[in-house]
Structure 1
């Protein structure tokens, strides 16, 4: 690829230096820019085969820079990288036409492989002379309650971003309380149907005998108590998205009718004689193993394949415990605003304690815990003793188990050492101890995970951005 060219746009000189060396070693021509404005000035005269840009920069940011590049050269691939990764930036990047979205810190090999794929696409497009007309893609910036910086959530955000211009059916799986409906809402908000209705129905909450009426509606007099005609959820969601939660609890007879709607695009109301047509995107969710349900005869295999065009798995809270501080801040802030009271603040030891719990109720349990804290905690700063009794009991079990295995010996040794120092010595040693301990932890985690930053961050219970920042400070 010695004829290929890459432009790197980032206000961080260290990132520019690393990428310059990377592409020079790969014999790929590279040009560096410290701002999007400087790049655009050069862009009026020349253009590369690939642009790699940061999001947050002085002047024009990466998303608006992407839009400008797309306006002028829609076939030119752009890789977006950012140290401030969230779902909104991921979706905005994909909606804007980004080739890929890469959170910092990234693995060098991953960046090089990604750049080579983008260059192959760019050069192939140029050879075929397949330039398409420019399109302005609207960025749907509706707020979402999907929050997280963990690797698992970054993967989820990227999936939502890739689906932002699609109306394909999606099946969401995940444990109860993990946030499946929030994922469904985000899929709708960031889709071409965003201005149309989002209608949700929980299959487990509807009596079997009323399921057809809820979904498809009924005519007046169709059954006892049907004193007037009523639209079902399919009609209510026409043009938009119908979210069917706990799809595994849908009766087999209703599954047959749903399959017919998905196949033919029309249905009959209960008691109706004329077919009704609707345009609805189906997003379904379940906490069950539908493959097991199929084997047991509780779920239709053909319906499963109709729904499972795209599959999204939502991680449990325990699988993304590094997101607990961010989620807690959000839930505590919202609870305080709703109740018009002072916002509670979790002390560092309380946050560490929460991160070590099992959270069988997932995000919903954490949200309810934050509501409890907002009402019941006696002071603004929340200690471990201020937590709900059941969480204190669970944490005590974990702590006792750890102590039995001898895991607290180093804590006792450190405590005894610090207590033996004079006041002046103690102040000096405390200032040195925290960075020293963190340095040892980082070195050990990187060694355990073969130098892979993302895996090491997960082992430490940190986000990748946190680990990268601490590494720069060593």
Structure 2
């Protein structure tokens, strides 16, 4: 690696680590804790690469990029930041940064990016790229869109690349991962944000409803939630509407099409739940939002953010103890970010003090699901303000993994025994029968509805219950009317 690297970071440790690593790689390095000093070096003609932090004592590193490019159009800039949000990634991309890496970064990865930047420097004889204005920071929409995990950083980069492109976007993922938040970001952070944002759901199946939504979204964004849940006639109307836009006189007012789907939209096409010609019109680019279990390191900062957001909405201000943080991080969160948000709001309401204890986190998890990580031996739990059982030692807990040939009854028995073991010598909270049946009943109904394509008559017949009983259970269990689940 050859070249001179300019480093700007207010953290002396990071400056030292980067200086040593780049020097060993053969580079010359100038490091500073000041953006003004960085800009002076750039204007003096020093450096072949800039590595800068975002939040600095004398300014914002991203805001400095246009000035760097004005002085030295050929100088690549790599942005590093502890602000691991989608807004930071988008602003770095729009400012024409060579690359963006979240803190804490992987040093070998940063060295690879630095080598790429030094190898691809624009020659001084090349025409200077036109400087694009960096937009003012936009309020991050709802922000469970934070994350240091590689899966989320890849998502941020993809969103940044196609944010203002005239391509339809399909956002895939499991329930509760934040697909609608990502979709909203495509509007709120784009150059269409001053126009309308309209949501079209499976409840809006009439031709009039579809065209009304289209009219209100002109020039803005039309979000189509779960198009596979639309009946065949509604999907055909959507196709007709898109075709009319594409060739009509008001093509310049066509909204950006964004859709949300399940984790595998191509499976919906293969099963004829989603028309192939509609899929290809909506999937100009497909972005997959990772489940929470694929980014477990993001769970603690997400939980802290959600607690802060709950406090801003009027709930008591709470923080997480180290033990509570570790316990929450270990939980699989099958309901993803939505389940985590429900948990943090419950803890904000029920915790005894300003800091949520490990025992309180364990109790909240145990009461919401029979499958929870064990609390360490000796850690007293709290339930309804009174001391509750000490969990069994971790060695006594039955592992979550189960043999592929395990019968359903054995699997249920295993998880129920685990639940009792977690309470040691004492009994679980009262109401166990209804709580366990509810845990089993909800996924059963959801899977049966998926299997029958949302047809409630067929679903009721499959389950062997009355259709009215099914409708009441859907209401009582708060099963959302999404993904081919439309109350008839």
Q: TM-score scaled to structure 2, two decimals? A: 0.69
Partner residue, 1:142: 139
- Note if 1:403 corresponds to 2:364: no
Q: Aligned-pair distance for 1:75?
A: 4.6
Partner residue, 2:99: 100
Q: Aligned-pair distance for 1:377?
A: 4.7
Q: Partner of 2:239: helix, strand, or coil?
A: helix
- Indicate conservation of the 8 Å contact 2:196/2:220, yes or no: yes
**Residue-by-residue CA offset, 1:369-403 (whole Å, 9 max, x unaligned):** 33333444555544146526633633278976953
- Indicate conservation of the 8 Å contact 1:377/1:387, yes or no: no
Q: Aligned-pair distance for 1:238?
A: 0.8
Q: Which structure features the higher share of helix residues?
A: 1
Higher RCO (Cα < 8 Å, 6 or more apart): 1
Pick aligned residue for 1:360 from 306, 317, 334: 334
Q: Aligned-pair distance for 1:285?
A: 0.7
- Indicate conservation of the 8 Å contact 2:78/2:99, yes or no: yes
Partner residue, 2:301: 326
Equivalents in 2 of 1:237, 1:406: separation in Å?
52
Partner residue, 1:426: none
Q: TM-score scaled to structure 1, two decimals? A: 0.70
Equivalents in 1 of 2:250, 2:353: separation in Å?
61
- Indicate conservation of the 8 Å contact 2:49/2:77, yes or no: yes
* C-alpha RMSD of matched pairs (Å): 3.2
Unaligned runs of 5+ in 1: 217-231, 269-273, 408-474
Aligned runs of 1:92-241 on 2, under 5 Å? 92-123=91-122, 125-127=123-125, 129-147=126-144, 148-151=146-149, 152-203=151-202, 205-206=203-204, 208=205, 210=206, 212-216=207-211, 232-241=212-221
Equivalents in 2 of 1:117, 1:364: separation in Å?
39
Q: Aligned-pair distance for 1:277?
A: 7.5
- Indicate conservation of the 8 Å contact 1:199/1:241, yes or no: yes
**Residue-by-residue CA offset, 1:83-129 (whole Å, 9 max, x unaligned):** 34332322221122211101233334322321232234323x434x2
Deviates further, 170-179 or 341-350:
341-350
Equivalents in 1 of 2:268, 2:12: separation in Å?
55
Pick aligned residue for 2:370 from 393, 398, 401: 393
Q: 1:45 to 1:327 in 2, by over 3 A?
A: closer
- Indicate conservation of the 8 Å contact 1:160/1:187, yes or no: yes
- Indicate conservation of the 8 Å contact 2:171/2:289, yes or no: yes
Q: Partner of 1:326: helix, strand, or coil?
A: helix
Unaligned runs of 5+ in 2: 376-390, 400-488
Q: Aligned-pair distance for 1:249?
A: 1.1
Equivalents in 2 of 1:5, 1:154: separation in Å?
28
Q: Aligned-pair distance for 1:176?
A: 0.8
Partner residue, 1:427: none
Q: 1:76 to 1:164 in 2, by over 3 A?
A: farther
Q: Aligned-pair distance for 1:21?
A: 4.0
Equivalents in 2 of 1:89, 1:185: separation in Å?
16
